[in-house]
Amino acid sequence: MKTNRLKNKILLTLVSVILGVATIVTLYNIIHDKGQNDLRMEEAYQNVRLNYEESIYETVHFYTARAHSNLNSPGVMDAILSRDHDRLYQLILPRWKVISNENSSLVVMQFHNADGTSLLRMHQPDVFGDPIALQRPMVAYIHKHHTLVYGFEEGRQGLALRILVPILNQGTYVGAVEFGLSTPFIIDKIHRHTGYDAFFLVKEKILGTFSHVDRYLAVGEYRAIDVDPELVPLVKLYQSKYDRLQDTIIKYKNQTFAITTVAVNNYLNQPIGAIIFVHAAPDFWEHVLQMVTATGLIALIMMGILGWMISRLYDSISTQMNFQQMYNQTILDAIPSPVIVTDGHQLVAANQTFLAYFHYESVLDFKRDHACVCDYFEEGDTHDYLMPMLNEQRWTDYVSDHPLIDHKVKITIDHKTTIFDVKLSVLRFQEEKRYVVIFTDISSMQSISMTDPLTGIANRLHFTMVYEHAINVAFREKRPLGVIFFDIDYFKHINDKYGHLAGDKVLKHISQVVSKRLRKSDIFARWGGEEFVALLPDTSFEESYQIAETLRQTIEAENFEIAGKITCSFGVAMLEENESADMLLKRADELLYEAKASGRNRVIRQELRETH
């Protein structure tokens, strides 16, 4: 009887625990998933907005370039200045055919005179000379301010994204070029990027040429245009639920749709309407119902079988866990170097060599005094030495993200300083992550084979070893990769005038100056003599150029004691598609010698060389 009562008590406790845990887990998952769902919706909105803004920017940039290309064509500016409509039409017609064929949404290309009249409409060449600035605020605006202007505005061709580029003749404003693209162009462009359906809404009070149309759907103070017929029922449902625009979720025909709104502005950045984006979204509450149902079924099954399994499994699992722990610890203790396992924040396990080095009996004893082994890290004389935080990353994450760098730590115990080489491996299981870190004592065997003995930076061998790998990573992950070659101007003169010891000091001094201004992820090496090379992973063309220019200015401003002021010449090249490692170095080297040949103390990049 007592046994049955105890059994029932255990089962009742087990049932209570399972139900309690199931309830807590379910509530936690609902709250967590709700937060994740909200985050996904917010990210989707931000993605839509970003794609919209990028589409507008790319379109404006593209047609601004088209405008300048047309204006720079032979005879075009003379025709504009003389207001020769027919001559200008004949000159622009071949280009108009090309750009209108490449984009069917281009409905307007127009040249405006500075006095507010229309000089030429490529889409309506027979209509010109009218005072269009009186009817089109954007045209009046550019005539007044003489600057690039763009935005959505209505005209004879309806609502369009209009881009007006000023025409300047030797600094004097003489008119403007206008391009107009119909709204489906923006919608189609965003659809290609995001897969979302969309349509435009325009405020009723500024409908203009659309004011007489009564078939457009009303949503509050807006009227919908260019609506896909398949979306009309969904828009009507949205219209019936809301009297103003807002982001929301709508369920229609057993499918959930996310509605996202992005404001559409005119040339003065004033809202004149919006774009509604529609995309399928998972039904969160249906997900909750499924999760609660699944959790309930699991809880019932667990209550049915766990009572029978608990006693047998407990003994079996306990035995296996104890054996696994002993096995793992035995493997760790067999390694002669200090080894730890950490979750990135605190110690999880360590071998006996580690504990003996720090004079602790167990991991628990160590954790009572220190949350992390990084408490012992000391600053070194180079950037290779790890600190608890580097570039706003914990040291474990930093080592994991920078496998090409040789990482070291400096630790002092009992007044004895030891330099350790740090190797790290990452173990992942589901959402859990563990770092296995091996500290190898290199105090008495610092290798010099990878270091330039004079300057202390990487030598050519070291650079060559990481260079091929960096190129493979750049190609595989489609990331930019920059290379900077530079050498010291008139270095032979320094050696001849002040001696080779002074020259060596200059080399070391420059190495220190440059090392301090490069990132830890960059590879800086002495190529030979007075020539240096820097490898810049994940660095854009403009960033690479700016880094080189900063180095040039810094060296020029530095005082080199005996030698005084020194300058350097730089060549900057970027890895191109399917380019070999040797070819990239060759191009950078050629740019360096071009810098020297064109006067020294300058940065030559490929862009400048190709445009001259």
For 521-542, the DSSP string reads TSEEEEEETTEEEEEEET--HH
Asked if 416 and 516 sit in the same domain, the reply is: no
**In which band, very low, low, confident or very high, does the pLDDT at 548 lie, cut at 50, 70 and 90?**
very high
pLDDT per position as a tens digit, 477-488: 899 999 999 999
User: What is the rounded CA–CA span in Å between residue 463 and residue 591?
Assistant: 19
Answer whether 392's CB lies under 8 Å from 407's CB: no
Same domain membership, residue 549 and residue 572 = yes
Which has more confidence, 295 or 601? 601
Q: Which of 180, 167, 172, 173 is nearest to 88 (CA)?
A: 167
CA 392 to chain centre: 17
Look up the domain containing 422 and give its range: 335-441
Residues 5-24 as b/e (b if ≥16 CB within 10 A, e otherwise) read eeeeeeeeeeeeebeeebee
Are 502 and 582 within one domain? Answer: yes
434 and 492 share a domain?
A: no
| Structural domain includes residue 532 | yes
- Domain of 592, CATH number, reads 3.30.70.270
Name residue 445's amino acid: M
- To the nearest 10°, the Cα dihedral for 118, 119, 122, 127? 60
- The pLDDT assigned to 211 comes to 43
Number of domains in the chain: 4
CA 322 to chain CA centroid, Å, is: 46
Q: Is the pLDDT of residue 2 over 50?
A: no
Residue 517 contacts residue 558 (beta carbons within 8 Å): no
- 517 and 431, same domain (yes or no): no
* Mean pLDDT along residues 505-519: 94
CA-to-CA distance for 404 and 536, rounded, in angstroms? 12
Query: Which of 115-124, 244-253, 337-346, 464-473 is predicted least confidently?
Result: 244-253
pLDDT tens figures, 148-201 = 999 888 776 677 899 999 999 999 999 999 999 988 888 888 778 777 888 777
Q: Which of 3-12, 54-63, 405-414, 516-525 has the lowest mean pLDDT?
A: 3-12
CA 166 to chain centre: 33
| pLDDT higher than threshold 70 for residue 310 | no
Using 50, 70 and 90 to split pLDDT, how confident is the model at 213? very low
pLDDT (tens digit per residue) in 214-224 = 456 777 777 77
185 falls within a domain: no
Distance of alpha carbon 202 from alpha carbon 221, whole angstroms = 8
Burial of 226 (0-12, 13-18, 19+ CB in 10 A): middle
Contacts of 102 (CB under 8 A, 6+ apart): none
d(CA 193, CA 371): 47
Q: Are residues 317 and 362 in the same domain?
A: no
* 315 vs 204, residue with greater confidence: 204
Name the phi and psi angles at 423, rounded to 5: -120, 135
Is the Cβ–Cβ distance between 508 and 456 less than 8 Å?
A: yes
The gap between the terminal CA atoms of the chain, to the nearest Å, is: 100
Whole-model pTM: value is 0.43
Residues 568, 607: one domain? yes
- Cβ atoms 567, 555 nearer than 8 A: yes
Retrieve residue 557's tokens. 């401003």
- Do 478 and 606 sit in the same domain of this protein? yes
The interaxial angle of helices 85-102 and 2-71, nearest 10 deg, is 160
More confidently predicted of 7 and 209: 7
The answer to whether residue 506 sits within a structural domain is yes
- Strand intervals (E) in 232-282: 248-252, 255-265, 271-280
Residue 3: predicted pLDDT: 52
344: exposed, middle or buried (Cβ count in 10 Å: 0-12, 13-18, 19+): middle
Q: How far apart are CA 368 and CA 346, in angstroms?
A: 11
In the chain, pLDDT over 90 holds for what percent of residues?
Answer: 40
Give 206 or 57, the one with higher predicted confidence: 57
Task: Decide if 287 is inside a domain.
Answer: no
Question: In angstroms, rounded to a whole number, what is the distance separating the alpha carbons of residues 323 and 319?
Answer: 6
Does some domain include residue 353?
yes
Task: Give residue 610's pLDDT.
Answer: 42
Confirm whether 65 is domain-assigned: no
For residues 336-350, give the mean pLDDT.
Answer: 89
Q: Is 434 in contact with 427 (CB distance < 8 Å)?
A: yes
Please return the burial class of 475, using the count of CB atoms within 10 Å of its CB with bins 0-12, 13-18 and 19+: middle
Strands 568-574 and 603-605: parallel
Residue 387 has pLDDT above 50, yes or no: yes
472 and 558: one domain? yes
Interval 566-596: pLDDT, tens: 999 999 999 998 889 899 999 999 999 999 9
Whole-number mean pLDDT of the chain? 84
Side by side, the strands of the sheet bearing 432-441 are: 347-350, 339-342, 432-441, 416-429, 407-413
How deeply is 219 buried, as exposed, middle or buried, from its count of CB atoms within 10 A (0-12, 13-18, 19+)? buried
Kindly report the CATH number assigned to the domain that includes residue 413.
Answer: 3.30.450.20
* 379 and 498 housed in the same domain: no
| Residue 466: inside a domain | yes
What residues contact 379, with CB distance under 8 A and at least 6 apart?
A: 385, 387, 410
Total residues belonging to the chain: 612
Give the model confidence (pLDDT) of 106-142 as tens digits: 989 999 999 999 999 998 999 999 999 998 899 999 9
Q: Are residues 436 and 464 in the same domain?
A: no
Tokens of 252: 């229609």
Same domain, 464 and 548: yes
Coil vs helix vs strand at 153 = strand
Q: What are phi and psi of 226, to 5 degrees?
A: 55, 45
In a domain? residue 380:
yes
